[in-house]
Amino acid sequence: MYLNRFADTTEPLDLTPTDEFRLLLASAADLGISHAPQVPYRSRNIVLRQMRFHYLDWGAADAPPIVLLHGGHQSAHSWDLVSLHLAQRYRVLALDQRGHGDSEWARDVAYSNHEMSLDAEAFIGVLGLQRPILMGHSMGGRNAMLLTRRNPSLLRALVIVDVGPEVSDRGRAVIAGFVRDNEEFDDLEHFVRNVQQYDPYRSRAHIERTVKYNMLQRADGKFVSKCDANPRRLGVVRGTGPQENITLEEARAFDLPVLLVRGADSRILTADAAERFRDALPRGTLVTVPNCGHNVHGQNTKGFIEAVSEFLVHTCPLHT
C-alpha cells in the first residue's frame, strides 16, 4: 500500500487540495520559505525508453524550465520545498528516477548512472524542454554530469549538489550503511527515529512529513523502502569505467554556467575536492552552505535556496 498520493493514469493529478500539500506549506512556514499564494503542482506519468516514469510538475507551463534529479534512496519529493519556492518564476520538473519514488523499477536491474543519465536526456527531449537548467544532487548530480559530458548544448546551466569527480569513499560507506540498515520495519516510528539519528539537521516534524515518500506498506503489514531493493541500485555502488565517471579533465569541457553547492559538514565532497572541481570548470562557481551535510537542500533549505537563487539571477538570466 502506498502512503502518498500520485497520478495512477496518464492524466495529471492536482496535488494542491491534498493533506500532503497542506503539510508542505506548514513546513515552508516553519522554515520561512516564501512561495506564491497559488502554486500549480501536479503529479504526472511519462513513458521514456520503454519504462514508466513519475514526475512532479510545478509552476506555469510557459515559464523557463528547471529539471531536478534527486539523490540515491530518495525521490522527486526530496525537492518539494525548493520546488515550491522556485515555482514562483520557473517551471520545475522533478523526476522520480528509475527504481525510485513512484517510477517503475527496471526489469533488467539496469541502475547505472549512465542509464539514468540517458533517462534524464530522454525526459528533456520528450517534453520538448528548450535548454533547461539541470540540477542534480548526489546520484542525480552524477547523472547530470554524465548528461552534460555527452550533450552540453542541451542545457542552459548546471547545478551540482554535493558531488563531483572526486568523492570520499568513507562518506559513501556511511550512506550505504544507512541504506542497508533501513530496508524493512514493523512500524514507521522506528524508521523516523533512525533518520533522526542519521540526520540531526532536520526537525522531527519535517521527517514525519516526508517519510511517506520513502516507504510503503507491504501485504504482510511491514513497512519497506520504495526503492528497488537490489544491491546494484541507487548509485550507492559506484560504477566503474569511463562511461560511469567524470574526470576533472573532462569537466574542463563543460562550457556552460555551473554552480557547485557543497554542504559545509559534508562527508562526501571535501572542501579540497570541491575547490579542484570548481577550478576545472570554465564557468564554475562554488558556494558552501553552512549548517548542513550532504543533503544540502533538505538540511538547510533556506540557505540552499539563497545560493541557487543568486546563481539563477546573476548567471542564468530568464531570457532565452
Is it the case that residue 220 has pLDDT exceeding 90?
A: yes
Contact 104, 51 (CB under 8 A): yes
CATH number, residue 79: 3.40.50.1820
Number of domains in the chain: 1
Q: Report the alpha-carbon distance of residue 224 to residue 239 in Å, rounded.
A: 25
| Rounded Cα distance, 125 and 183, in Å | 34
Model confidence band, residue 179 (pLDDT cutoffs 50, 70, 90) = confident
At 316, the pLDDT band (50, 70, 90 cuts) reads low
128-174 pLDDT, tens digit per residue, is 999 999 999 999 999 999 999 999 999 999 999 999 999 998 888 88
Q: Is the pLDDT of residue 4 over 50?
A: yes
Q: What cell was used for 231?
A: 544491491
In a domain, 250, yes or no: yes
Question: What is the predicted pLDDT for the residue at 232?
Answer: 46
Domain-embedded: residue 233: yes
β-strand pairing of 51-58 with 91-95: antiparallel
pLDDT at 233: 46
Mean pLDDT computed over every residue of the chain: 92
Question: Given this model, what pLDDT does residue 229 score?
Answer: 66
Domain assignment present for 21 = yes
Please answer whether residues 119 and 48 qualify as being in contact, where contact means their C-beta atoms are separated by less than 8 angstroms. Answer: yes
CB proximity list for 281: less than 8 A, separation 6 or greater: 251, 252, 254, 258, 260
Tell me if 25 is assigned to some domain: yes
Q: What dihedral do alpha carbons 252, 257, 258, 261 form, nearest 10°?
A: 150
Region label for 32, one of left (φ > 0), alpha (ψ between -120 and 50) or beta (otherwise): left
State the pLDDT at residue 171: 83
The reported pLDDT for the residue numbered 51 is 97
Ranges 215-219, 243-247, 269-273: which has the least confidence: 243-247
pLDDT at 315 over 80: no
Res 113 pLDDT > 90: yes
Give the side-chain half-sphere CA count within 13 A for 37.
0
> Between residues 6 and 1, which one has the greater pLDDT?
6
Length of the chain: 320
Say if CB 312 and CB 85 are below 8 A apart.
no
CA distances from 299 to 153, 202, 271, 302 (A): 32, 6, 18, 9
What does the alpha-carbon distance between residue 51 and residue 297 come to, in Å, rounded to a whole number?
Answer: 28
What does 229-290 look like in DSSP terms, one character per residue?
A: --TT-TTTS---STTT---HHHHTT--S-EEEEEETT-SSS-HHHHHHHHHHSTTEEEEEES
Please tell me the predicted confidence (pLDDT) of residue 317. 63
Q: How far apart are CA 10 and CA 46, in angstroms?
A: 7
Taking the C-alpha atoms of residue 54 and residue 226, their distance in angstroms, rounded to an integer, is: 13
Residue 184 has pLDDT above 90, yes or no: no
Question: Half-sphere exposure (CA, 13 Å, Cβ side) for 186?
Answer: 0
For 37-41, 100-104, 153-157, 223-227, which range has the lowest pLDDT when averaged over its residues?
Answer: 223-227
pLDDT of residue 198: 87
Position 133 in a domain: yes
Is residue 8, in this structure, part of any structural domain at all?
no
Task: Tell me the pLDDT tens digit for each residue of 223-270.
Answer: 998 988 664 444 444 556 777 889 999 999 999 999 999 999 999 999
Say which residues have a Cβ less than 8 Å from residue 204's Cβ, sequence separation at least 6.
192, 196
pLDDT attached to residue 167? 93
Which of 57-61, 106-110, 116-120, 176-180 has the weakest average pLDDT? Answer: 176-180
Over 80: is that where the pLDDT of 27 sits? yes
pLDDT tens digits, 57-96? 999 999 999 999 999 989 999 999 999 999 999 999 999 9
Domain enclosing residue 236, as ranges: 13-315
Task: Name the pTM for this structure.
Answer: 0.95
Instruction: State the average pLDDT over residues 171-191.
Output: 83
CA–CA separation, 297 and 289 (whole Å): 9
Q: How far apart are CA 137 and CA 266, in angstroms?
A: 13
Mean pLDDT value across residues 15-36: 96
